[in-house]
Structure 1
Amino acid sequence: MPTPQRHTPSQPDSAFPTGPFRFLALDVETANHDRGSICQIGVACVRPDNSIETWVTFVDPQTATWAFTGLHGISQKTVRGAPFFADALAMIEAPLQGVTIYQHSGFDRSAFRAACAGLQRSEPDWTWQNSVTVARRAWPELKGNGGHGLASLKRHLRLSFDHHDAGEDARAAAEVVLLAEQAHGRSVCFHDT
């Protein structure tokens, strides 16, 4: 797997990549305990040849409470000039439609649901799957032996990424799915409910 590069833009690096994609992996970071306080979105786009292109943006969650800065390093100063959630969602809503989106646990979808509720709108009708479920099926021996969180999988699978950066965590979730496919010799897309 290629080593991911850390992205720390206040604006998206570029326009969202164009498909086709086999699947996507999405991760968010939040400013505080409010799941709707999304301050960074990362999307790893897996192409038919299994190459991964990562898109990432900071998001201004319009909050004064930054309880998680020590975890991810993102602060109110970091997101100054970044798009608000409604604008960030507008950048990705259509491209993510109709493509399977992996999240590593249920947190990311719940964060989108909460942020959308803050806008008094429903969450996008995206197809979500869970890379934790994929990892549990691929490496059952990790149950009780570090588990299937990204930090444990980083050690077990020798992944190289900077945990708690949405772009890198999204890429790591995509790599987990790809490595599970390699381990089992088949595609796991659409089969991990």
Structure 2
Amino acid sequence: MSATPETVHTAVLPRQRRDLAGFDFVSVDVETWNNRTGSVCAIGLAVVRGGQIVDEYEALCHPASEFGEADYRHMAINRLQLGDIYHALSFEDVLSTVSAFVGDLPVVAHNAPADAAHLARACEVAGIDAPAWEWHCTEAIARKALDLTSWALPDIAAALQLPRFSLHQSGAEARATASVLLGLAKQTGAVRLGHLPR
């Protein structure tokens, strides 16, 4: 008499959701022309609706005289031309346009405390109110979600198998930050920005 094979019951696990339709945010990157907090000379952003980048904006702006002269080595690293910045819009004008793009959406940045500090200080010197944005940080999220030895934006992007991008260019870094945030959402199965680890 042959033995009756045992019935194996396999638990049905819920599929990890990869739907990013719940992600609406604006990623922001700020570049400066020297090492002083607030010396903002470029702002880039990428607008994400339903998990897709739907709009982008990038502009140079001239820092206020209170922030001193440009650091040429700093400018070279950031691939910025001094002449272009001298003829650029004021910080106030650029921030006004950026704020119109952001509206009431949450804002995402890599090392968000640094970008927020630059904008707050630039606003203080300009005599205007800093935007009351809801900030989220891709570096902080990645530290909770990934096991890496470096938390630089290019290294996180590489770990998520995202395309390479131009460093120190505000538009490219804002776009990369948006892609990293969406990549972290896929990695963790989060379906809302608030579901990501912080």
| Fold shared by both chains (TM-score > 0.5) | yes
Structure 1 residue runs without a partner (length 5+): 1-20
Candidates 36, 41, 44, aligned match of 1:42 = 44
TM-score, with structure 2 as normaliser: 0.78
TM-score by length of 1: 0.80
CA distance in 1, matches of 2:137, 2:64: 29
Structure 1 position 52, deviation (Å): 4.5
Residues 57-106 of structure 1: CA distance to partner in whole angstroms, max 9, x if unpaired?
Answer: 11111456221112112132121321110111111223313101001112
Q: Secondary structure at the match of 1:36?
A: coil
Residues 64 and 126 in structure 2, CA contact (< 8 A), matched pair in contact too: no
- Contact kept? 1:52, 1:171, Cα under 8 Å: no
Does structure 1 conserve the Cα–Cα contact (< 8 Å) formed by 2:31 and 2:43?
yes
Unaligned runs of 5+ in 2: 1-22
**The one of 54, 57, 60 aligned to 1:58:** 60
Larger radius of gyration: 2
CA distance in 2, matches of 1:49, 1:117: 33
Larger helix share, 1 or 2: 2
Overall identity of the aligned pairs, in %: 27
Do the aligned residues in 2 keep the contact of 1:32 with 1:65 (CA within 8 Å)? yes
Q: What is the root-mean-square deviation of aligned Cα atoms in Å?
A: 1.8
2:99 matched residue in structure 1:
93
After the TM superposition, list the runs of 4 or more consecutive aligned residues in structure 1 that deviate by more than 6 angstroms: none
1:134 aligns with 2:162: no
Does the aligned pair in 2 maintain the 1:72–1:165 contact within 8 Å?
yes
Partner amino acid, structure 2, of 1:177: L
Corresponding pairs, count: 169
Whether the aligned pair in 1 keeps the contact of 2:154 and 2:164 (CA below 8 Å) is no
- Residue equivalent to 2:123: 116
